[in-house]
Amino acid sequence: MKAGGATLDSPGSDFRAPSSCRRRAGRLLADSACNAYNKCMQYTIRGIPAAVDTALRERARSAGMSLNEAAVDALAEGSGMAGSRRKRRDLGDIAKTWKTEKAVAAALADQDRVDEDLWR
């Protein structure tokens, strides 16, 4: 909303939200940022020795992975967590539940048909 050409609660406006509202909004924003930060688990690591940087980059290059993936793998190995398995969904609850329907079979067969005129 605008008041006299200025945005409400901005410098120069005639209206300012009560300070308690601004503090509450600030706390809410800080809590949200903290939760997002902790959920993503992002680290900033400074002071990486040149030899470690070179080894990580070589590891990433030779394994065909990103530098981040190589660093996470190295951290997992160094912390003794390298063998721990991630929880994965095995899809056993939906395995062998496919029901053949004529319309689906016809659509799939239609996709397998090659238009010879397009391949000349």
Answer positive or negative: Cα dihedral of 8, 10, 14, 19.
positive
H-helix segments, 2-118:
19-40, 50-63, 67-78, 102-112
Q: What is the rounded distance in angstroms from the CA atom of residue 86 to the CA atom of residue 65?
A: 18
| pLDDT score of 39 | 65
Domain range list for the chain: 16-78
CB-count burial class (<10 Å; 0-12, 13-18, 19+) for 71: buried
Instruction: Answer yes or no: is pLDDT of 103 > 70.
Output: yes
Residue that the structure tokens 């800080």 belong to: 30
The 10s digit of each residue's pLDDT in 13-72 is 555 556 666 677 677 777 777 666 666 677 888 999 999 999 999 999 999 999 999 998
